[in-house]
Amino acid sequence: MEAIVLCGGLGTRLRSVVKDIPKPMADINGKPFLSFVLEYLKAQGVQKLILAVSYKYELIQEYFKDEFLGLKLTYSIEKEALGTGGAIKQALSLAKEKEQFVLNGDSFFDINLSQLRLENQSKLCLALKKMNDFERYGVVELDDKGLVSSFKEKAYFKHGLINAGIYLLDKTIFDAFSLEKSFSFEDFMQSHFKALRARAEVFDGYFIDIGVPQDYFKASQYFK
């Protein structure tokens, strides 16, 4: 199994509590947050990782080097800002396997990766999280076949399914589209989910995104 981890986050909203480092390197109980993500991937059976890095990427390379916990690490280095979509597209050029897991290096979602599947010509499968009383995230809606039917913008929702930032995608996902060098993967999904036959699996595992100080401190408690 092979996976791509997006590690280019600047962490601007965390500057009040985390020094000027890549967001996945934020300290959680003496370890970078990214180390917990990699431990999870190791436990899920992933053997090779491509770390898509950008801002102060040398700090990530110096810490994790070319191997971590037996995981073989390759670095896809952005020489210019590529956005999440451009970062994934560049990393895919280094990928060996046809199906690739993609995760964010600044969030953690405790799910069974093997339950994500590409079926019936689907190029993309999203991991969705059930949530109640939230406004920080948009909502993903599904039809009765488990295919994505719509994306709703951020607003207050009493309950809904959020995109938790873990994907299984076909290596050729971008081949049929004319794209700028820098683009947002989230925008790409919302524009092309029907053509991609995007599907989803719903999970209720623990989820944390350390993008704001409040959740950063929650992560420190959880990983104790």
Q: Is the distance from CB of 202 to CB of 6 less than 8 angstroms?
A: no
Quick one: average pLDDT of 27-44? 93
Residue 172 pLDDT > 70, yes or no? yes
- pLDDT digit string, tens, across residues 177-223: 999 999 999 999 999 999 999 999 999 999 998 877 777 788 888 88
Q: Which residues contact 218 (CB under 8 A, 6 or more apart)?
A: 208
The CA distance from 13 to 18, in Å, is 9
Tell me the pTM. Answer: 0.93
Average pLDDT over residues 27-56: 94
Between CA 118 and CA 115 the distance in angstroms is 10
- Residue-level pLDDT at 18: 66
Check residues 23 and 50 and name the one with the higher pLDDT.
Answer: 50
CA dihedral 167, 172, 178, 179 (to 10 degrees): 40
- Poorest-confidence range of 26-30, 34-38, 96-100? 26-30
